[in-house]
Amino acid sequence: MGLRIAIVGPGAIGATFASVLQRAGTAGELLLCGRTPLDGITVEREGHDPVRLAAPVRTDPASVPGTADWVLLTVKAHQTTAARPWLESLCGTKTVVAVLQNGVEHETRVQPLVPGSTVLPAVVWCPAEAITKQHVQVRDTPSLLVPDGPPGRALAELLRPGGGTVDPVADFATAAWRKLVVNAIAGLMPLTGRRAGMFQRADIRAVARALARECAAVARAEGADVPDPVADDTVDRMATMPPDLGSSILFDRDAGVALEWEARNDVVRRLGAAHGIPTPVSDVLVPLLAAASDGPG
């Protein structure tokens, strides 16, 4: 009998990793758990045949009695509390909850909701975009960084046969903070309504560099290895990315839904204040993102 694996939040990231699991054949039962009932999702990845997810999207936690071996939590950070009914239904003492979210506070956010389960934080590197609710496009290999240990290595074995990459790392905090530098910079996208091409502008790169260095300074105070040259290199790489490459926070702004501003940007300001580190760019950026997300007006 195969493993029972649930994807909670079958959006762009959730559907992508569901397609990896379906291709791998490592799940005896693959559950898609969300808010909108769908009879199928197609995932297209460059260089691969499209995958049509066989499982429908379920919307009622009561419809999937019994715990899962694995839960991949792929809702955005600010949607975690809303996913609680699914977590309560699916998670038991033997469940591993892989948290595929942005930010640096995965365990703090999720462990209280699943007190008896193992929480595995994951850094997601996966340029995926939901063209519609039933059509996801993926530009590159779906990749995760996880803490080195048995749960992380087990997740790697689950995803590898389906073309996913999971790299267990000894210093997960550094991996998470280096990704957060990217996320923080991408917070400029919903405020301009532009994709990665905007980083070809020298003035935008100057703002992004100041923001990236703020994030790096807070990261170092938190014990992560993020020197200023890494922050600068991150900005330079953004300028070389495909001009039409977007970010989930931009896609959400375009869709007129709430933004993941707290986990991606406010965390820099909040932890910076706790360490006495000035964050002048974030001090301006965060209220703008919060207003764009939550109003009023």
**Helix (H, G, I), strand (E, B), or coil: what is residue 201?**
coil
Cis before 296? omega within 30 = yes
76 classed as catalytic: no
Whether the CB-CB separation of 225 and 285 falls below 8 Å is answered with no
In Å, what is the CA distance from 9 to each residue of 28, 79, 99, 100, 159? 19, 9, 11, 10, 18
How far is C-alpha 228 from the geometric centre of its chain's CA atoms?
24
In Å, what is the CA distance from 235 to each residue of 184, 196, 198, 282? 11, 11, 11, 16
The enclosing H or E element of 18 equals helix 12-24
Compute, in degrees rounded to 10, the torsion defined by CA atoms 45, 50, 55, 60.
Answer: 40
Structure token digits, residue 206: 């100057």
What is the rounded distance in angstroms from the CA atom of residue 145 to the CA atom of residue 26?
20
Of 76, 94, 133, 179, the catalytic one is 179
What is the rounded distance in angstroms from the CA atom of residue 184 to the CA atom of residue 186?
5
The residues assigned a catalytic role are 179
